[in-house]
Structures are given as C-alpha cells and as structure tokens.
Structure 1
Amino acid sequence: MNAPEKLPPLDSAELGRFVDAAWRERIVPQLTEYIAVPAKSPLFDPDWQARGLIDKVVRDAAAWVESRKVPGLTLEVIRAEGRTPVIFFELPATKAGSTQTVLMYGHLDKQPEFSGWRSDLGPWTPKIDDGKLYGRGGADDGYAIYAAVSAIEALKAQNVPHPRIVGLIESCEESGSFDLPFYLDKLQGRLGDVSLVVCLDSGAGNYDQLWLTTSLRGNITGTLKVEILTEGIHSGDASGLVPSSFRILRQVLDRLEDSSTGNLLPSVFHCEIPADRVVQARATADILGDEVWKRYPWACGADGGAALPTTTDPVEALLNRTWRPTLSVTGVDGLPPLSNAGNVLRPFTAFKLSLRLPPLVPGHEAAVALKSLLEDNAPYNAKVTFQPDGRVGDWGATGWNAPSTTPWLETALNAASRTHFGEPLGYIGQGGTIPLMNLLQQGFPKAQMMVCGVLGPKSNAHGPNEFLHLAYGQRLTAAVAEVIAAHP
C-alpha cells in the first residue's frame, strides 16, 4: 500500500508577506487605474457598448492576469453579441487525486457617480488616505480578480498543492447580472464539479476579523410613475380640483409600506427567519454592539443630537437589514430643482424604487405581485405604471441563504481568520444582493460557499466616498489562499 501523499507545509507568515507585497507593488497601482475609468453598468449607461469603458476594464484586467504568467493558468475573454463580456480563467489541479473545482467570482462594472463626495475626492479620482483607497468600484468589487489571482500566486510561490481553480468575472452585476445565466449555460461543461465558491463581492462587520456572509437579500428595482395631466398647469388655477400626482403616488405607496414604521404590509414580501440565523445575529450583535447602527453618517437631528435609526437594538438592527423587506426611493423624475420650481401643478411624478427582499422570497414572483399591487385600482383613475427593471419574465433578483458549512471549511475559515487577523471568524448576513449566488446554489447544490468582501463600516459602496480598506484587502487575500490550500 502506497504511503499517503505528504504535502509541503504552508508558511503562513511568508504567505502574508507575499500578499502584502502583491498589493503594494501590483494590485494598488492597477486598482488606481481601474477606479479612474467610469465603467458604469449597462443599467446606468445604455450606450456602454459604444462608449467602450466596460470593454476597457475587462481588457485591462485580462492583460494584468496574463502578465503574471501563473504556471498552468489560461484565460479567455468571452463575448456574445449584445451582451457584456466575462473573463474566464482556468488552472488545473496540482493536488494529487483532486477532482473537484474551486470557482472564484467577482465583477468589474460599477455603480454611477452619486453626489456628496468630499471636496478632495471624486468617484473617478482615486486617492489613498489613511490606508483607504477611495473611488468608485475599487471595493465593489474591482479588486476581486486581482486578489484572487494573487492568492493563487501566493500558493504557487511555496509550491503548495491546490485543487482545480476557475475564475468567472462578469461585467453586469450592478445591473442584476442579466447576462450571467447565458454565460453559465455556455460554460457549463467547463466549470467542472464545483465544490467551493469563493465570492469576493460581499462585506464585513468590522475590519478586525474574517467575516463569512451567511445570507443575501433579493431585490426589485423599477420605476413607479403617476400621470394625471398631459402638461403642467398654474397651481392657482388647478390645485384643489386636479389631484396632485405626488399625493396619488403617496396613496399608492401606502398600499405597500407603513410610512410610520417602514414595515412592508403584504405578506408576499416576507418570509420566516430561520432559527439558526437568529442565533448568529445575536452572536454578531455581541461582537459589534451599537456599532451596528452607529457606523452610519447620521445627520444632525431636531434637538441638535444625531438622527436615530429604526431601532437601536443591535439584534433587531441586524435582522432588519438582512431578513426583512425594505423599500427605498433612490431617484425621482418630474420634480424640477428648487431653483426652478415655479407655481405649477406638475403633470406627473416618477420614483425609482428599490425593494430589498428577504433571502427566501422569489424575486420574479415578488416583482409581479408588486406591479399588480401598485397599478390596480388607481386613485382618480390616474395613469399609474410600475415598470420593473430587467427583461420581461425575469424581473427581480432572488436572495440567497447559505448552506450549512462543512467541518473542513469552518475549520479552515477560523484558522485563516486567527492566523491573519488574530480573531475568530465572524458570521454576518448582508442586506445587498449578489444574483450569482442563487444561480450557483441551484447549479451546484452541494457546493460550499465562501462569500466574503471588503465592504466594512463606512466603506459606502454605491454612495459617496466609497473606499477599499487596504490592510483588510491584504489579509482577506491571504485568508482566501489559506482556505484554498486546505481544500480536501
């Protein structure tokens, strides 16, 4: 009988030094160039093809990976007519007997600019300040492909055996990943037997330990429009007789939301919170305490103190932002700026809605229900329309609830966190949406999920002053390498 293979030991200290040098010498300079490119996702830039900026960041990332000349790694940029491109890379296993695949994921498209950036910052003006790299898209999550490949390089530098690894980097995630099912189907035969997904598009509860994402909310976005006139009329002439389109819109939204509490009224948008997620929320609340809600940039309140959240109970705060549905109004049309607001009763009001769904609520079914709820029986027989974003028949994004973590992965994650952060692994649900995770869970129901990211306190993805915490990114990269090395 042959003796079992003796694997070379992984020198964690040397791995950390390799990763730190990779970030300092190669990743940060590349991310600085990436941030300067306004490669907005197709939902926010319908002319993305003609503009060529998404293609640019994809080409730049592919060229960077190829320049690293990782032994055995092959890369392809896959394009299809009318669709955003994806990067697919592949690395054969060097661990004897390994037949399974690790899939690494990230994206390169970005959210739009938004307003309110510090006077010395800007969305497309990269700047390092106090160990943070500011600018749109660096943390969400342009760093992912560079961190993933550097983690692989760190293992190669020590000749540490690894399983087969593939990478999938898309470029329409911020638009709901509407092209991703096409590419997953196209690549089905090349992905292999995926046993572990490493997704670097998530967040962290603090910057002191490794955080594993346990759930993601789904999302419905779309435009709610109320039309009452064909043109604006002098408010002195029409008000009192012509109902305000804004008031009608408020009435319609009252069907959906209790404005005094923010609770969504229809049961179709709710689900029961699993008992184990409540237990984890309590443990996370013990770690984070009031920082769960104090981390946000609160305005000055009416009494001179800070404005207040919906709850100051850390457990309820965590559950509210991860397992309960919530409505946000993210844009408006039909309202002139204050400087140009004359005495006119406006013909229409339109709101851009973003409705976050609990992880277990099907996105498309919820979107159909929302459309019916908002449009039916319009007050004053006004023209009320709700147009969900996305392709007809594929509205809304379904959330994700992680499978139970196997012992090997839980042990590896804890060890990686203690080695590179000095603290144990933390568990946290995220309020955002990564459509890929639900798709992959369906396609690879037995796969384990390492969903992590650099979006910690005040990193503010999508908003002003978005930043990437550089030290955290370095340690996360090292932790990813440790986990891949531990893959059985």
Structure 2
Amino acid sequence: MTRELDPATAREQVEAAWEDDILPTLCEFIRIPAKSPHFDPDWASHGYIDEAVDLAEDWCRQHAPRGSTVEVIRLHGRTPLLLVEIPGSAPGEVLLYGHLDKQPEASGWDADKGPWHPVLTDGRLYGRGSADDGYAVFASLQAITTLETQGVPHARCVLLIECCEESGSHDLPHYLDHLGERLGRPELVVCLDSGCANYEQLWVTTSLRGIAAGDLEIDVLEQGVHSGDASGVVPSGFRIARSLLERVEEATTGHILLPALQADIPAERQDQARLAAEVIGDALAGKFPFAGETQPLSSDTTELVLNRTWRPALEITGADGLPPLAEAGNVLRPKTRLRLSLRLPPTVDAEAATRALGDTLTDSPPHRARVRFHPAQASNGWNAPSFEGWLGDSLERASRHWFGKPAVFMGEGGTIPLMNLLSDRFPDARFLITGVLGPGSNAHGPNEFLHVPTAKRLTGVVAEALAAHGGQARG
C-alpha cells in the first residue's frame, strides 16, 4: 500500500530543516552581491555569481536524497546553471525552477539593514535575494526530501536553477537546448518566484502580463532657442508628446485606446478576480504609498485586480531632454525623449502590440515634427493551463493543511519571460506558480525581506503537490 504524506510530520520536518539548515545558508547567500549580468557586466571576473552557485551546490550535495546528481553546467560566455536530478519512485517527471542572481542594491535601506547584510527579526529575513528568489532552491529540495523521509512516492524531479532571471533569462534557452532530453517531459512545473497578496493564504498565480517598452523621440529644433522668442512660432515638443500619447491612452482614466493592446478576459479569470477581491479588500490599494490624498483608479477592488492582471496600462518610466529644475532656463527645448512601458494582457502578442504602438505614435505627427519610436522590450504574458483535477484538488488541501484557509487564484501584474519559454518547451505541463513576494517584501527595492513562515508553508505545499502528482501518475 502506497504511503501518503502526513501533514503533521511534514510540518515538523520542514520547520526543523528551515531553522537548522536553510536559514543559516540563506544568510550566507544574502552576503554575496551576486548581481544579475544586466547590473554587473563584469560578473564573470567579479565571481559573485559563481560564489552563490557554489554555496547552493554545496548545500544541495549535503541534503539531496541518495542517488541524486548535482551538477553546475557552464556554457561559454553564459552564467552558470545548477542542475539537480532526483530519481523518482513513481512514474512521470517534474521540473522545479529557481534563480540565484539578484537585483542591484537600491537606496533607502533602514539604518540597521542592508542589501548584503542579513537581518532576521519577527519572522522576516531581510537582505537582497532572500525572497527573490534565493529561497526557492532550498524550499524545492526540502519539499522532495520531506517526501523521501516519509517514504511517499514522487516522480523524477529536476531542479533547474539559473543565474540570469533578473536580466530576462536570456541564457536559459541555451541551457534548455543544451540539456535536451535530460530535462525529460515534465507533467508539472513548479516556480516559487511569484507573489502573494497576504501571508495568511496560499496564492496561486494564474496569469502574468506581458510588456511592450520603447523610446519615443520627438525633435522640433536642431538646438534650443529662447522660449520668449520662439513660443507661438515653434511647436512645443512636450505638447506633441502629449498629443501622441493621447492616441494610445485616455488621459483622464488611463484607459488604453488601441484595440491591438486589448484582450477578452476569460470568465474563469473574472470569477477568480472577484473571489480574490473579497479576500484582499482595501489591502490591494492600501499596500501602495500614495502621496497626500491621491486615490486609486477605482474604488472597486475587483476592477483593480483586473486592471493589474488583464488590462493594458501605460507608464512613462524615464525621460531625457528635460533639464532639472535648477538648470531649467527659458528655453524652448529641441528634443523630448520618453521611455514608455506598456503592460499587456496575458494573451496579447507583445511583438504585434509593439508594432501597433510604434505605428500609432509615428503616423502623421503634429506639425510634421520628427518623431521616432525605438522598441526596447517585447515580452509575452502568460496564462496558466487549467488547475482542474489532481493539481487544483491538492492545492486546496495543502492550503488548508498549511495555511488553515482556502487557496486563492489570481493573476500577477508583472512579467516573467521564462514562463512562456517553459510553456512553449513543455506544452503538456501543468504549472504551480506561487511565491512569497507579499505586502512590504519589496523585492527590487530597499528592505527586501523573506516572510519566513510563508516560505515554510510553501515548502509543504510543494511537497503535497509532488505527492499528488506521484499519486495520479500511478492511477
């Protein structure tokens, strides 16, 4: 008779592993400034990414189940990849993903904290990379070890830990090609690099938005001239920018006008948004540090959930040609440069959206000004396969076992390019995407922290999902 996972025993195992082994190692990991290649072009000579990989490799060698293989693979000119293969006692295959590269330091850390200085207090482990995503390799392997210790069957598991995620995972496709059949054909992919709206429940990511980004350039003069002399004769580049942007976005509401950037929201996702809104309430808008009396775009939380998961949104994330106030003379500026960042619905093709955006902005500009659009990034969003059946059932059970509350299914507003990469590579796989990036965790900013109780619970959730997968594969 096949053994089933005992949640009470699993809780004791997970608690002990985190306190005795994982947290001390995570503290060592935080101390390593393993910035992603985009932020540290000299990463290879600095050696910090290699140091982080060596730390994770050593830990995996000490704690991987008997018969496992632990290997660091290095393709020429690319960041290393840690691969851990754990043989299965049930049919099928599972891929578990994580990354070890980090965002840069950022300013504004509290005086007693710092990006490379681990601080554990009140169940929060502060430091860069703690939550994004250093904990994933340890939690994933511990989930498997928990099953092994209890004799619960599971499929063959492969841990794929990259070092380029914060730079767009541009090295990962080369490793997927290089590894080929070694990765197998997983029926389940687990990724612990997502978010949660609170720390009291299991939050399962159902979708991710895409992104279309680029630079809008507007030239009206070859050089700046006296504004008193020229205004009323020479058109304002800033006004032209406003006019062009209003072709894309309704200025008062922020509604995106281009049909090519819109998508129908599936009924299931609308239902999930309503349920998520009931759980979150005012906390969704409340987590943001609004200035003064600034109000959110809607008082309806369901609409806010859908806005940040299934509707396009435009932001100007940078500008050139606008001097600082201290240097702003009476000059009609010759050039205006704006960096546009457009979040896209999960099912919109990012390349097509980028073309539509560029065509709309450059077609017949006012006053025949010289207008150009330079695409900078186009990444598709992602919409999860159905959770119906063994996976959804196991997540509901696990949420009640480990959190004492039902699971919540909701999309995320960010973009994780690797999800489409993995979906395309493994089209028959089911996906469990979740994470610890909850209120205040501030993964890319100051005072990033890992909510340790949530990380422990997610370790148990992954263990239960692996057990359920092993059980259904036999049946």
Distance 1:140 1:296 in 2: 19
Does the 8 Å CA contact 1:225/1:349 hold for their aligned counterparts?
yes
> Does 1:270 find its partner at 2:262?
yes
Post-superposition shift, 1:198? 0.6
Post-superposition shift, 1:346? 4.1
Any residues of structure 2 matched to 1:404-419 within 5 Å, and which?
A: 404-419=386-401
Post-superposition shift, 1:261? 0.8
Distance 1:276 1:167 in 2: 31
Any residues of structure 2 matched to 1:244-255 within 5 Å, and which?
A: 244-255=236-247
Post-superposition shift, 1:101? 0.6
Distance 1:295 1:125 in 2: 25
Structure 1 residues 374 and 415, CA gap change in structure 2 (3 angstroms): same
Residue from 37, 61, 67 that aligns with 2:62: 67
Does the 8 Å CA contact 1:296/1:458 hold for their aligned counterparts?
no
Residue number in structure 1 paired with 2:445: 463
Does the 8 Å CA contact 2:217/2:338 hold for their aligned counterparts?
yes
RMSD: 2.4
> Does 1:137 find its partner at 2:117?
no
Give 1:463's aligned amino acid: G
Does the 8 Å CA contact 1:176/1:397 hold for their aligned counterparts?
no
Distance 1:38 1:331 in 2: 26
Distance 2:138 2:199 in 1: 20
Aligned to 2:187, the other structure's residue is in SS state: strand
Give 1:454's aligned amino acid: V
Residue from 373, 395, 409 that aligns with 2:360: 373
Structure 1 residues 293 and 49, CA gap change in structure 2 (3 angstroms): same
Distance 1:60 1:222 in 2: 38
Does the 8 Å CA contact 2:64/2:86 hold for their aligned counterparts?
no
Give 1:18's aligned amino acid: Q
Distance 2:218 2:57 in 1: 45
Structure 1 residues 411 and 298, CA gap change in structure 2 (3 angstroms): same
Post-superposition shift, 1:484? 0.8
Distance 1:240 1:59 in 2: 64
Structure 1 residues 376 and 27, CA gap change in structure 2 (3 angstroms): farther
> Does 1:146 find its partner at 2:133?
no
Distance 2:117 2:238 in 1: 37
Residue number in structure 2 paired with 1:331: 318
> Does 1:481 find its partner at 2:430?
no
Residue number in structure 2 paired with 1:392: none
Distance 1:458 1:264 in 2: 29
> Does 1:444 find its partner at 2:449?
no
Structure 1 residues 231 and 146, CA gap change in structure 2 (3 angstroms): farther
Structure 2, unaligned runs of 5 or more: none
Residue number in structure 1 paired with 2:175: 183
Does the 8 Å CA contact 1:205/1:428 hold for their aligned counterparts?
no
Structure 1 residues 340 and 122, CA gap change in structure 2 (3 angstroms): farther
Post-superposition shift, 1:344? 4.5
Aligned to 1:66, the other structure's residue is in SS state: helix
Any residues of structure 2 matched to 1:44-59 within 5 Å, and which?
A: 44-59=39-54
Residue number in structure 2 paired with 1:224: 216
Does the 8 Å CA contact 1:406/1:448 hold for their aligned counterparts?
no
Does the 8 Å CA contact 1:223/1:351 hold for their aligned counterparts?
yes
Does the 8 Å CA contact 2:4/2:467 hold for their aligned counterparts?
no
Any residues of structure 2 matched to 1:74-223 within 5 Å, and which?
A: 74-95=69-90, 98=91, 100-223=92-215
Distance 1:336 1:57 in 2: 41
Residue from 408, 413, 420 that aligns with 1:431: 413
Q: Which TM-score applies when normalising by structure 2? A: 0.91
Post-superposition shift, 1:342? 4.4
Post-superposition shift, 1:382? 4.0
Aligned to 2:379, the other structure's residue is in SS state: coil
Post-superposition shift, 1:413? 1.0
Structure 1, unaligned runs of 5 or more: 1-5, 302-306, 390-394
Post-superposition shift, 1:118? 3.9
Does the 8 Å CA contact 2:248/2:256 hold for their aligned counterparts?
yes
Aligned to 1:89, the other structure's residue is in SS state: strand
Distance 1:184 1:318 in 2: 34
Does the 8 Å CA contact 1:23/1:474 hold for their aligned counterparts?
yes
**Which deviates more from structure 2 when the two are superposed, residues 438-447 or residues 32-41?**
32-41
Aligned to 2:96, the other structure's residue is in SS state: strand
Post-superposition shift, 1:452? 0.7
Does the 8 Å CA contact 2:207/2:346 hold for their aligned counterparts?
yes
Distance 2:249 2:319 in 1: 18
Post-superposition shift, 1:153? 2.1
Any residues of structure 2 matched to 1:24-35 within 5 Å, and which?
A: 24-35=19-30
Does the 8 Å CA contact 1:203/1:455 hold for their aligned counterparts?
yes
Post-superposition shift, 1:169? 1.7
Aligned to 2:339, the other structure's residue is in SS state: strand
Distance 1:150 1:372 in 2: 50
Structure 1 residues 112 and 245, CA gap change in structure 2 (3 angstroms): farther
Does the 8 Å CA contact 1:133/1:468 hold for their aligned counterparts?
yes
CA deviation profile, 1:109-168 (whole Å, cap 9, x unmatched): 233344444444444443334322223332122211121112122222223221100111
Give 1:226's aligned amino acid: I
> Does 1:23 find its partner at 2:5?
no
Post-superposition shift, 1:247? 3.3
Residue from 277, 282, 295 that aligns with 1:308: 295
Post-superposition shift, 1:51? 3.9
Post-superposition shift, 1:345? 4.3
Residue from 402, 407, 422 that aligns with 2:384: 402
Does the 8 Å CA contact 2:218/2:371 hold for their aligned counterparts?
yes
Residue from 249, 273, 285 that aligns with 1:281: 273
